[in-house]
A and B are shown apart, each in its own frame.
Chain A
Amino acid sequence: MMLRSRLALGCMVASLSLVAACGSDSGSSGSSSKDPYVIGFVGPLSGPVAPSGVALLAGLNAAVDGINNSGGVDGRDLKVSAKDDANDPAQAVSAVRELKSEGAVVMYGPQISGLLGAVADIVTQSKLTTISSAATTATLVPPAPWIFSADIPPQAQAAPALDFAKSLLNKDSLSAGLISIDTPAGAEWFDNVDKIASSEGVQVADEEKIPVGATDVTVAAQKVINGHPDAILTQVTEQILVGLVPKLRSLGFEGPIISYHAAGSNAVLQQLNDKGVYAARSAAPLTDSSDTGAAFVQYQKDAQAAKFEDQANSNGLAVNGYVTGQIIVATLKACGSGCDSDSFHDAISNLDLELPGLTFGPVKYDDDDHQGLDTVRYYHWDGSAVVAGDDQDYTGTLPVS
């Protein structure tokens, strides 16, 4: 009796082992070759900064739906596993652990620089490739091995903003007022502008910080105007920009107001109805009728299929979510079948991706450069549509010297 029981137990264990062996994939952490690739997303989906996280996720989903509808990558679908960090470092760390346990090949996020710093160590330890819209000098110079930038960092937009201002005003030298959100990234942008201002022929008239939760912008606006700038350059959130522009105008400033890429969506430019407000874009807005490149046409198709147009027009970050989706898709294709976290990292470390019509330059990473995008174009509302301010592209890289 005892012998028969042991025999039965042995057969059961052997059967289970056989089933488990058949189900496992030799190249990945327990996932089958038919299982979808898990793409992790970590960002603020609730709380005060939720609009940015929701927009980025919507863009990512549009790109993923697009590739899935055309058969996936090597026959495997992509599945987005989205985690809400609520702009809380502890939740971001938990999200990274969860994604690792789910077998994610790559993580898009966190999307706030402070949170990216909080997860930097665990990302390195767990060897999870991380693409973030919040990569800063701290993670890019020198590049943290597992962290890549999804977008041109705000700090890198010193040279593009100054070059565009000079081109717009057709001046070799000018006076510029700076207004930034009161964050470390904003302070670094001030420093970077100061570093290159004299060589660019720019005199910095005044620099003003606005707190993230500012209840009024009058004082900052008036102080900058008191410096009599030819142009005002801003790195403030879209929410603050909506209040800041009318305030600058009502206080008498008539020159151009030039925003960085994370503020100045189509909806906001239209709402402001101010032809003198220009916003940098690292990717073409959905409504840009001048673009006919293949990647842009695909973007329009995917946006339409995902019913993503409203989101894309109301938040400029949405297209960056889509671009990141394309970066992930291209990396998976380069990685080959059975791509896992390690091989994904190898593939993205040598990525050189052209997205014709969608971005204004290639997305290019190597061992020494994890910035990727470095080119912007400036757009404004011309009274009837959002159009490019000029036909030129402007580049900015970190470190600024």
Chain B
Amino acid sequence: VSTETTLYASARVTSSAARQVTLLDLIDRLLAGGVVLLGQIRLAVADIDLVDLDLALLLSSVDKAMGR
């Protein structure tokens, strides 16, 4: 198991688009997937609104990193 691997992409998809999709998958899994244990717990990422916000922040920073 590694991270951010494009296993396959249609020839009709540009390689930069495939890379973006792959990075989005990484972020989506970590922020919207994964086991959630909730009791009397403090969560740094507490609910879906915050997750969406973080996703937007991350994507904008990715955009910057890629010079767009």
Q: Do A and B bind each other?
A: no
